[in-house]
Structure 1
């Protein structure tokens, strides 16, 4: 089952989010991650879809942000984070989360869903390509890290 996350899901979501960040070589920090997610949900900064198994255990999530594109003169949806528990992968959960994200993008009038993934995350890249995502060959992404 896929549904939109609420604050009542915060503990289960935090556990998955922590695993996701560890996958990307970030330190585990349940308290900080819970605070971050709570703030996103309380402020309606993010739309999070969660996947649950038949026992209603949380097994995955897609965290999305709405932003705007000047070139498209439109809202766009950023699929910022996608994660499925390693014990349940390759059973269609990630695909179902992306499909729910696609439905939401259509509801808000977004003509595209944008995402980024690690260059070595070939499993995810393969899924994205199978689902119709096209890797941008014309634009480079740049980040500027600011010191505190």
Structure 2
């Protein structure tokens, strides 16, 4: 009889660790002036990037429909995180770009993640955390580092 935990526990533990980090991030973001940001918004901000994108491209990157991407853009625009503008190279296209508020949220997120990583390092030990990160790099291929998790989770 093996003393190893059942196989299904590994993905659950990884998910619970992810959830813990994201929940802690959002609690701190709320304290720092971003109470309306939701976990999916981080994927959206990354997909928009510094150069902007279109609703079609955003939907493709996130693995959701153009309509779902458009609703998310509308919501983030109302909250002041993104704005729409004509593409200077093709006036028929509308680009979605992050506002200063959107960039502020990303910068604060990066600092908070650094702090959360330090907290994990204190609990696990710096060497064990680095080993965990290195081990995850070995088993999680670069191709798996995509932003389509919103669509992947919802089955789109």
Q: Name the TM-score, length of structure 2 as normaliser.
A: 0.29
Question: Which has the larger helix fraction?
Answer: 2
Larger Rg: 2
Question: Which has the larger strand fraction?
Answer: 1
